[in-house]
A and B are shown apart, each in its own frame.
Chain A
């Protein structure tokens, strides 16, 4: 287990200055600890051996007071510095993540649950607090306090240094040994404990099923049995795992005991003076304390770093599609050509493109059809510049010029000419009108109302405050069909010449589907429309259909012609209810 992830230093710059500060604070603390111990020893020795009163000891008592105050101040400083550093590092990681998403778009997140990532970036990342505020400072103390204390004791009483040298190094050594011996078992056991949480969740989620099958009562005994069984096994493992902390305590205390007995015997011989001996005895627990505390903070270190590394993985992933600086062609006149375009998502097969050839002509209404996972939505993502093809060329051709690859174009300027209606439109917090205005923040109310009307969003009239109605958190309160129409209104408001639509009529109820279809017909006028759809009824109305299968375009042409061509499209049609007797 590394104590520090080097990526953290790279990606969260606050870590560096904090590390320097922590070492400084640790050094200062070590000095103050020694001063405090010697001052206290001087006071006690003065009274006991020298018969001094308080008046004679003002110097030592003053020094003791200063040391106590300084120690409190250092504790304050360390806590403040570490928690602030933690807050900054967490913010830096979050900003890095969001910046990454903002420049790369959704494809960079493919395969990651957004909800989980959001929780990791906000609540989960708090595990770093313990890492910064407890583990790292403790690490500094555990290294520096014994070092400085030994340096102080060495010239005064080398025998005590010998005892320290016998006990202190065995602590990390033994911890490593026990750690190695118990590691596999401990990890498996903690995993089993985590699994138990999952088992419990599994049972809770399946409760309706259990009840329906009359098994709920028996499951009660099962939960008790599984939990109890695991408790016994966990305790067996803990018996070994706790040995390391037990050993730590044992060594620390035996070390103190040996120091005390040794000092006592040397005092009898007269080879050491009382004040020095007492100072060493007072110092002894302080030497072992940070090492003991470090053992307790071990979990904090691993947990915090694991959470951070989840975010660092996203940050360190290669950029999806950086784009270029060339001015993009006018989307109204552009011909988009795909030559052998390929793209695969890391770690999954579905939706990959494997050498797709397709030309999108200006002003046409093109339908992309094909089975789930054929790569239809991926094609839209590439057109939007969310990802760059891993092979092949995606070229924008303008009449009278040679054309330019999408990867060389200023993607923001290109996207400014597009409109996109994804399969599950996202609604931002705010009013319904705000959501439409996403496409054009400066649009006036009349324009928004017009866009909503064009999109067939007549349901707006029934809302309590019309388009000014606030949508609940994450747009709750609107049905799938209503959300789809709000997203369509964005496309109308944007008045883009090239419109990309992803399954605009999937999962809609009867009324919504009819409204969306009518809106599409209006949208098609004077624009290039690329519609991904399962519903062949939508494809039937397109100028041209392209059939995708396994990441390739296997057939294309006007739907009327393909319907009788006996190819893949005709197959799809025969499988659906189009034209069939019902």
Chain B
């Protein structure tokens, strides 16, 4: 995407607020117009007064000076309100638009970008587009309007002065801004690279400080960071020359133009082409006009950063949808059976398949454990079951019908998910539990809290279910987090439930107890337990061992233990490993 295309898309996004943007432009124009009017009439006033006319002849000018002087502050105030209002409205639209796209993409389409820092950068990027809406759209238009106004005014008195001013305003507004944009772009790429390199080096030193110190290698590492730092400082110093050039040119053009207007004005007065008492008016008009162009170079420099932000946003939102909704979805399934037949899935052509011919059946009332090392494809299978992503080969069937034939929302009503790192929203505990069914009755909520063994903990909180979680609320341990996620899945009441590593982030001493309690709570449903810890033999009906996207072993747990294969090897290691909690504690 070229800068122009990005800018074009941003302008199209701004279209719904064109009325407010136009208002802010008009107010901005009137603001600068008021200062031009103030300086022009002031110049005329004192020049004419020097001729000692009767005081009545000066009254109009006096009133003009006062009116312009008072109006400008008011106009400026209104202009700032209007421009911020428009920008905030646009930002709100943009947030919703970005959300809509990400909603379609998440989580499968964001696999590579899911990491928190990328999402937070996206949020920052969206915020940064404020710059475009506040400083990128209206000020150039205002400057163009001021150019027309001031040169038009001068042309009425002295056409040559108008030509000088027009050329200088174009130079200061357009020329210096383009130069700033160009110079900015040239250095920005190198600066960004140098900053990135330095950030990597700094992070390396911060993260590896212990080892570097332990192995006496800190000085070497410091020298490397210093080299990267010196490189950045050198670039920034070079950038300082360019920024200085832009600042100096702006001052030179405006100061020079005012001088030149005086130079063409002086002979015009001598020749009688310009009344002497109009000379100050002409010169002061030129002086005041540059207020419109002075913020442009800085805005142009910021614009290149904002455009880069916009490009990142568009790149993310332009990704194709990972799943397609059927044109005429099948009626909602009951959720009696989920079956995979030779399921195949590959994230990228140059990568090994995530699922490579997996067969698996989950029936209501049955429990299947899917075990295997991380990266074996366990979570990919869960994503397919929830229609976050479609298979590349084989079939995924719900009640005997292809998953892809159902509306995704219908599938998710019968297939529930408790994620590995369940997300708790920055709201109350109650709202987090009610996420899937905001209309659930208090009794129903109390019931699932009981089954997730949360009631004692919730009762101990000052505000009970209304206690907020997160930064301003109560600290929630990893175990409680998973229990809340379970309660919320139970409340939805999906007959098939996928527990994706529900105890992965829990202290090992409580993990086993928590898992058993979660399985108990889900009794009666079909449960697919994804785990790399091994379940107790009596906890599940079938174990499927997945490695590199393939099923390498399957069967009843006792049979697999007896068979002495992969499952047995895992069990042997685990048996001498983790300490087990002596007694289950609610809320781990």
Contact = CB atoms under 8 A, between A and B. Distances in A.
B251 A250 contact: no
Contacts of A65: 259
A253 B270 contact: no
B208 interface: yes
Contacts of A572: 579
B250 interface: yes
Interface string B61-95: 11001101110111011001100110011011001
A274 B46 CA distance: 7
B416 interface: yes
Given A235-B81, A278-B46, A510-B573, A246 B74 contact: yes
Interface stretch (A80-88, A302-310, A349-357, A400-408): A80-88
Contacts of A84: 236-237, 240
B47 interface: yes
Interface stretch (B306-314, B419-427, B518-526): B419-427
A578 B215 contact: no
B423 A212 contact: no
B200 interface: yes
Interface string A158-194: 0000000000000000000000000000000000000
Interface in B31-54: 34-35, 38-39, 41-43, 45-50, 52
A442 B84 CA distance: 62
A281 interface: yes
Contacts of B579: 534, 536, 572-573, 575-576
B248 A76 contact: yes
B280 interface: yes
Contacts of A439: 215
28 contacts: A43-B266, A44-B280, A52-B270, A53-B270, A72-B248, A72-B249, A75-B248, A76-B245, A79-B246, A84-B237, A102-B205, A102-B213, A208-B423, A209-B419, A214-B412, A214-B413, A220-B100, A223-B95, A245-B80, A253-B72, A268-B58, A274-B47, A278-B43, A420-B211, A439-B215, A474-B203, A573-B579, A578-B575
A234 B88 CA distance: 9
Nearest to B422: A209
Interface in B217-245: 217-222, 225-226, 229-230, 232-233, 236-237, 239-241, 243-245
Nearest to B576: A537
Interface string A92-104: 0011001101110
A54 B264 CA distance: 9
Given A72-B252, A473-B200, A47 B211 contact: no
A123 B191 CA distance: 11
A520 interface: no
Given A256-B38, A281-B43, A68 B255 contact: yes
Contact of A534 (B92, B288, B508, B571): B508
Most buried by A among B62, B195, B204: B204
A426 B217 CA distance: 13
Interface in B327-382: 373-374
B251 A75 contact: yes
B46 A260 contact: yes
B321 interface: no
B509 interface: yes
A101 B283 contact: no
B305 to A, nearest CB: 11
A87 B76 contact: no
B450 interface: no
A36 B229 CA distance: 42
Contacts of B250: 75
Contact of B210 (A201, A238, A420, A575): A420
Contacts, number: 451
B216 interface: yes
B92 A231 contact: yes
A82 B237 CA distance: 10
B270 to A, nearest CB: 5
Interface in B429-455: 435-436
A418 interface: yes
A105 B209 CA distance: 5
A227 B124 contact: no
Contact of B202 (A118, A217, A412, A513): A118
Interface string A20-61: 000000000000000010001001101111011110010001
B66 A257 contact: yes
Contacts of B215: 415, 419-420, 438-439, 490, 494
A339 B236 CA distance: 53
Contacts of A99: 222
B74 to A, nearest CB: 7
A3 B461 CA distance: 44
Given A44-B279, A98-B222, A412-B216, A57 B69 contact: no
Nearest to B246: A79
